[in-house]
Chains A and B, each alone.
Chain A
């Protein structure tokens, strides 16, 4: 399986930027003539109803926008490190196994765990619509990231960002840079 990850600078306040970038990326990934009408799944995950073989998932954080494309369901999440009470958020929102994992290592992998968890939830299409503590990306034997029925893979990115992609099988990731157009 090959996933293609399109990356762009992200400017907050640019209305419609994410949609324009999605269409630009989709036209590079697929042919330029496909019907790019967008619909939304039951939990809000967008898809192309007239091009069902094109699976995609968008993420943005900090200075970057990304969209992963593949020929099977894919989830991706980028998260910039930022100031927060890691212990409190972990206790509130993470699965007990995840909270224990983070606690014993001083919450060093907090953002990596968040990006792994969200990439999985975006892969399933469920998104963050159910309580986050009902699923764990830490295996009972302590492996991280790990989850049943999907493959989680961290990708290297610039410092102070966590980036994770989730697919059904191990995948090769090709990264493409695109620039926003007015």
Chain B
């Protein structure tokens, strides 16, 4: 799942080298538009809707992995 997240983040922002502890805002300096653009990619990839109110609880890569697991999303 880490590789998938890195692929999507890289596709949207060009940033690479993510780890489980990477913070999207503090470490990658993403702004709100970057984050929502990435969320849109996750939604398309997993065919789910991610409420915006959930997005702002997802600070680090590991938060996203845990969230997607709770939503039943697994790598194909």
Contact = CB atoms under 8 A, between A and B. Distances in A.
A60 interface: yes
A129 B56 contact: yes
Interface string A70-84: 000000010100101
B76 interface: no
B40 A129 contact: no
Interface string B7-48: 000001000000000000000010111011100100110000
Contact of A130 (B31, B43, B52): B52
A128 B55 CA distance: 9
- By CB atoms of chain A within 10 A, which of B33, B36, B37, B51 has the most? B33
B15 to A, nearest CB: 9
Given A59-B31, A61-B33, A79-B33, A129 B44 contact: no
Nearest to A84: B37
Contacts of B37: 84, 89
A89 B36 contact: yes
B55 to A, nearest CB: 7
A92 interface: yes
A84 B12 CA distance: 8
Interface residues of A, number: 23
Nearest to B51: A131
B28 to A, nearest CB: 8
B31 A60 contact: yes
B70 interface: no
Contacts of B51: 131
27 contacts: A13-B29, A44-B56, A59-B31, A61-B31, A79-B31, A82-B33, A84-B37, A88-B40, A88-B44, A89-B36, A92-B40, A92-B43, A93-B52, A118-B32, A118-B33, A127-B32, A127-B56, A128-B32, A128-B35, A128-B52, A128-B55, A129-B53, A129-B56, A130-B53, A131-B51, A132-B36, A132-B52
Given A127-B56, A130-B52, 14 more contacts: A61-B33, A85-B40, A89-B36, A92-B40, A114-B33, A118-B32, A118-B33, A128-B32, A128-B35, A128-B36, A128-B52, A128-B56, A131-B52, A132-B36
